[in-house]
Amino acid sequence: MTKTTHPRLLVPGVMAIGGSTIAVATLVNSGWKAALPVEAFTIAATLGYYVLGGRDSDFGAIFGGRPDERQTSAGMKAAALAGIVTSVVALGGFVVATAVGSSIWPFALFCCVSAASFLAGLVIYRSGG
């Protein structure tokens, strides 16, 4: 678990950095008119995460960096489900791209990264017995 002086700022900070990075990329590619709404959404979402992190609820505890065991378990299950769905979609995209004869490398990349990270997880989190 990451320990910070102000754990409530972790999620909003990541949102601000990630969203601003996307806004800068949009600025470089498409100009100010396209980047401004992206940055406005980033600021609104960052403030929303900060406010949500201060609430006394399950979501507030998770986003505020103070989850209990039950919430941590739910977060791990949600992350596992996201990984499974992403892997299945990548595999489906690989099959469809192969069938229509288009470029398969993006889907192959996601399939390989999913398989490699699964194997790495087995090695890292294996039981000592």
Q: Over its length of 129 residues, how does the chain's per-residue pLDDT go in tens digits?
A: 556 567 778 888 888 999 999 999 999 999 999 999 999 999 999 998 888 877 777 777 777 777 777 777 887 888 899 999 999 999 999 999 999 989 989 999 999 999 999 888 888 888 664
Determine which helix (DSSP H) or strand (DSSP E) holds 95, and give its type and residue range. Answer: helix 69-100
- Token pair for residue 21? 């990075």
Rg of the chain's alpha carbons, rounded to an integer? 19
* CA distance linking residue 58 with residue 79, whole number of Å: 16
**What number of other Cβ atoms are within 10 A of residue 46's Cβ?**
21
Predicted local confidence at residue 126, as pLDDT: 83
Amino acid type, 49: Y
C-alpha distance from residue 25 to each of 11, 22, 31, 38, 89 (Å): 21, 5, 9, 10, 26
- Token pair for residue 79? 């992350």
